[in-house]
Amino acid sequence: MRNNKPFIKTASLYDAIYAKKQYGQEARVINKLIRLYNVKGKRLIDLGCGTGKHCVEFARLGYMPTGIDCSLPMLTIAKQNIDASGRFVNLIHTKIDSYKPRKKFDVATSLFHVLSYQTTNDSVEKYFRAASRCIKPGGLFIFDCWYGPGVFFLAPKNSKRALRFNNSRFTRNKKSMWDTEQNLVHVHHTIHAHGKKIPPTHELHSMRYFFLPELTLFLSMTGFRLLEWGTLGAPLKPIGKIPSWDIWLIAQKNL
């Protein structure tokens, strides 16, 4: 049976799947972006923090991070990662659109395509309104998502990848189904464990890709002003002739 709640059954493999992701580099670039916009405060919230690796890097850079996520298995691993780092991160188990902070933050981040898991206009608007509730006037919202022109240029593909985790071997197969009418790509993940008599694990990740005009509209509807967009850099780098699969955006909460 397929699980359409991503990273519930496969949470324990998440860090192995994305072992090559440069969390530290991304956090350092985001820190430079925050400094470019002269944000002085250090209160930061990461919306959809997953296994907490960005939060750990932000803590190393002197921020006071809070991470929220709807997946309890992911937060369990996040606590292990945070404890191993020796840093302090406040973790909260909640849905993004349900969270109401007692005190607002200077910066909110939402990284590794959390927005793209919001597949309806209603859920996208709730996501941005939740971010707006979290941020002080003049504060920054830094996030990324799948980018429509890049998806159309590169096109969804199937893939197969070998993984190692705790001396065990796994294979992850990805099969993509493209829904161009709804701006979605349905990615079916199947993970097989080698040498173990256990059934494969299935997960369905439905991902929405976005175009700049709709992102600008959602931001303006929810109290933000779009400052810049592009690929990761400080400042963000312009989108080239060959568009990337994802796009980074910086928005400011209206004063």
How much is the pLDDT for 3? 40
Q: Are 209 and 151 in contact (CB under 8 A)?
A: yes
Mean pLDDT of 80-102: 97
Q: Does residue 5 have a pLDDT over 80?
A: no
CB 20 within 8 A of CB 85: no
> What per-residue confidence (pLDDT) applies to 10?
82
Q: CA 161 to CA 118: how far, in whole Å?
A: 26
Output 240 or 7, whichever has higher pLDDT. Answer: 240
List, for residues 195-233, the tens digit of each pLDDT value: 776 788 899 999 999 999 999 999 999 999 999 999 999
C-beta separation of 59 from 89 below 8 A? yes
pLDDT at 2: 38
Domains and CATH numbers, the chain: 11-146+210-253 (3.40.50.150), 151-206 (2.20.130)
Taking the C-alpha atoms of residue 44 and residue 67, their distance in angstroms, rounded to an integer, is 9
133 near 100, Cβ under 8 Å?
A: yes
Digit-coded pLDDT (tens) for 35-78: 999 999 999 999 999 999 999 999 999 999 999 999 999 999 99
Non-local CB neighbours of 16 within 8 Å, separated by 6+ positions:
163, 164, 165, 170
Q: What is the pLDDT of residue 1?
A: 30
Residue type, 77: I
Q: 228: helix, coil or strand?
A: strand
Residues whose CB falls within 8 Å of the CB of residue 217, separated by 6 or more in sequence, listed in order: none
pLDDT at 189 over 60: yes
Name the strand (E) or helix (H) holding 143.
strand 135-147
Mean predicted lDDT score pLDDT of the chain? 94
Contact 176, 190 (CB under 8 A): no
What average pLDDT does this structure show over 100-109? 97
Predicted confidence at residue 195, as pLDDT, reads: 75
Q: Check pLDDT > 90 for residue 9.
A: no
Question: What gap in Å lies between CA 61 and CA 174, rounded to an integer?
Answer: 35
Q: How many residues does the chain have?
A: 255
Q: Quick check: 183 pLDDT over 80?
A: yes
% of the chain residues with pLDDT over 70: 97
Within 41-134, strands assigned E span: 43-47, 64-69, 90-93, 105-110
Segment 45-55, tens digit of pLDDT: 999 999 999 99
pLDDT score recorded for residue 197? 67
Find out whether 189 and 171 touch, Cβ atoms under 8 Å: no
